[in-house]
Amino acid sequence: MRYEEFHRRSIEQPEAFWAEQARAIHWHRAPDAILDDSRPPFRRWFVGGETNLCYNAVDRHLEARAEQLALVTLSTETGLTREISYRELHREVNTFAAVIQSLGVGRGDRVVIYMPNMAEAVFAMLACARIGAVHSVVFGGFASHNLALRIDDAEPKLLICADAGMRGGKVIPYKPLVDAACAEASSPPAHVLIVNRGLDADLSRVEGRDVDYATLRTQHEGAEVDVAWLESNEPSYLLYTSGTTGKPKGVQRDVGGYAVAMAMSMWAIYDIQPGQVMFSTSDVGWAVGHSYNVYGPLIAGATSILYEGLPTNPDPAIWWQICERYGVRTMFSSPTAIRVLKKQDAAYLKQHDLSALKYLFLAGEPLDEPTAQWITDGIGKTIVDNYWQTETGWPVLSLMPGLDLKPVKFGSPGLPTPGYNLRVINDVTGEDVAPGEKGVLVIVPPLPPGCMTTIWRDDARYVSSYFSHFKELLYSSLDWAIRDADGYTFILGRTDDVINVAGHRLGTREIEESVSTHPSVAEAAVVGVHDEIKGQVPVVFATLKQGAEGMSAVEVAAAMQKRVVEQLGAVARPSRIYVVNALPKTRSGKLLRRSIQALAEARDPGDLSTLDDPGALEEVRRALGRGA
């Protein structure tokens, strides 16, 4: 099918278009109306329809593919691999649902899940979906304070956790964090359900509150739990944004719209048919993990691979080994992860038979051209950059090999996906900018199915965060973009990541991209730092590739500066360049430019609740102290 026709129809006749897409899922009761847009910016899809995410992800496949693998969980931390068929998944999810029901959880109740990438995390999510409970997965390993904040926002009846996570062979006990979070929270859960992997020898339990999954599982094994048929617009789950620009927002998702969007995106964007294999390297705690490790592949009747471990352990070929072993067709990862591999020998990319692999999708952060080129050459596959947000739940911009694959343009995540009516507008006037000119990327409402319905219990923040930036009622992505004459969109970074040098507005991303073309550079972060004369000047923090450390920092810095001046002009010339061993990032792998900038301006680094490695922030602090 042709992309243009498909997309045009989704915009011009949204109700007819989505009614067609809705046939891909099972409805217990057909919708009365496809769209209720009477109260913008809120909108309701498939009004009156009744369905269930777990039924669509599991039960529905029993007839045709009970023995097919539904889920493979693979851990290079514990050494455990589990291959789970749809029949087994059905059994495990029913048991899990019976267990959480026995703890008093029912329709509409919230359940916080705090687990690493392990099979029970998926069982727990689907068990909640089955009985109509609202899950809120909190990325495992977030500090107890973050967990407490999310507990207080969701007010869960139950918290499900693992005894511990592991990272690079090191055990990270979760239970003490859970205990501290419950002590800090003002609405702690009545019960904590522990899935014990036997990693934490000192695991302690709170009498009356804590229960072991293994014990309850034996009691409920073989139970069949009725599916709760939910109205399409009831909440299915809550999920927080990464917190790159400030306090994370609690995104609320619906049931029917999300199921339909998942089903459509799986074939149209990721080109996955029932029975094929998708491997997403995300953590279940992120939006990609929810949509493309759990709901998308399972709703599509595909096989999903969930990996726990580092991309470099036991060696940097581990992902490609997995691709070979399971015949992965579509792989999904992030530019950040590829830059980790880029520090390693490219020979690792060539060790395995990747003949089944067709696409590597990357999302989450701008994909710089050198990284895109490196991985394209290395694995010889089509690399598809796709742009989306936790809020949207699935891609906004991508190339769509399931429709027809347009040529890749490095640096661009491609074209609007079906249902997204996008404009690029001037941030002040709100007028559309000409092709090639920079503006803010906005979505013309109604947001398509699958996108957030509101911020949990905070409709006002939903409107003020996203819909109050322009005279017209438009969803602001809060990202800068350029659309070229062919309709390809380029993302230039966050609207608050702009450097104003003597009246010239430069995107941090453009300078980062330029710096990254230097062969020694692994990754770069550029921030605008206050300057008495020019207003702001660009300052670069860069990590170098392995083997490049031998070069003197001064040499590399001079070479980077030269490149920026050649490529972007003297106005973009970095005033200072710091070589560091690590850059501060969020737990989801996004550069924390606002914190780097704050340190560079001798300010407080701000909300660090989502910071991954405090050592990286220290690196920046030290580098600034050292001067360059």
DSSP label at residue 447: P
Binding to ligand ATP (CB under 6 A) within 387-406 occurs at: 387-390
Nearer to Mg ion, 162 or 251 (CB): 251
Are 511 and 574 contacting, i.e. CB atoms less than 8 angstroms apart? yes
Nearer to ligand ATP, 31 or 528 (CB): 528
> Which span sits near Mg ion by CB under 5 A: 54-62, 233-241, 331-339, 543-551?
233-241
- Per partner kind, with CB cut-offs from 5 to 8 A, the member of ligand ATP, Mg ion, none near residue 336 is none
Q: Which amino acid is at 626?
A: R
**Which residues are CB-neighbours of 163 under 8 A, at least 6 positions away?**
173, 174, 175, 194, 195, 196, 197, 198, 199, 200, 203
Nearer to ligand ATP, 56 or 389 (CB): 389
Angle between helices 144-154 and 175-184 (to 10 degrees): 50
Does the protein bind ligand ATP through residue 479 (CB under 6 A)? yes
Does the protein bind ligand ATP through residue 243 (CB under 6 A)? yes
CA 23 to chain centre: 27
Does the protein bind ligand ATP through residue 265 (CB under 6 A)? no
Minimum CB distance to Mg ion, residue 607 (Å):
14
Nearer to ligand ATP, 70 or 341 (CB): 341
> Which span sits near ligand ATP by CB under 6 A: 104-112, 194-202, 243-251, 519-527?
243-251
Among 91, 157, 358, 590, binds ligand ATP (CB under 6 A): 590
Does the protein bind ligand ATP through residue 412 (CB under 6 A)? no
Report the C-alpha gap between 418 and 434 in whole angstroms. 23
Q: In 3D, which of 180, 87, 168 has the Cα closest to residue 142? A: 180
The per-residue DSSP string of 558-576 comes to: HHHHHHHHHHH-GGG--SE
Does the protein bind ligand ATP through residue 417 (CB under 6 A)? no
Minimum CB distance to ligand ATP, residue 373 (Å):
16
Nearer to ligand ATP, 95 or 588 (CB): 588
SS (H, E, C) 450-515: CCCCEECCCHHHHHHHHCCCCCCCCEEEEEEEEECCCCCEEEEEECCCEEEECCEEEEHHHHHHHH
Binding to Mg ion (CB under 5 A) within 275-304 occurs at: none
Among 588, 589, 597, 612, binds ligand ATP (CB under 6 A): 588
Binding to ligand ATP (CB under 6 A) within 321-380 occurs at: 363-366
Place of tokens 């029913």: 94
Q: Which two tokens stand for residue 386?
A: 């796709």
Query: Site for ligand ATP (CB under 6 A): how many residues?
Result: 25
> Which span sits near Mg ion by CB under 5 A: 63-71, 98-106, 235-243, 609-617?
235-243
Minimum CB distance to ligand ATP, residue 393 (Å):
10
Report the C-alpha gap between 510 and 212 in whole angstroms. 51
Report the C-alpha gap between 95 and 221 in whole angstroms. 5
Cα 217 to Cα 57, 88, 120, 365, 433, distances in angstroms: 22, 14, 12, 40, 58
N-term to C-term CA, the chain? 55
Phi, psi of 622 (to 5 degrees): -65, -45
Does the protein bind ligand ATP through residue 439 (CB under 6 A)? no
Does the protein bind ligand ATP through residue 153 (CB under 6 A)? no
Does the protein bind ligand ATP through residue 494 (CB under 6 A)? yes
Does the protein bind ligand ATP through residue 281 (CB under 6 A)? no
Residues near ligand ATP, by CB under 6 A? 241-246, 248-249, 363-366, 385-390, 413, 477, 479, 491, 494, 588, 590
Residues near Mg ion, by CB under 5 A? 241
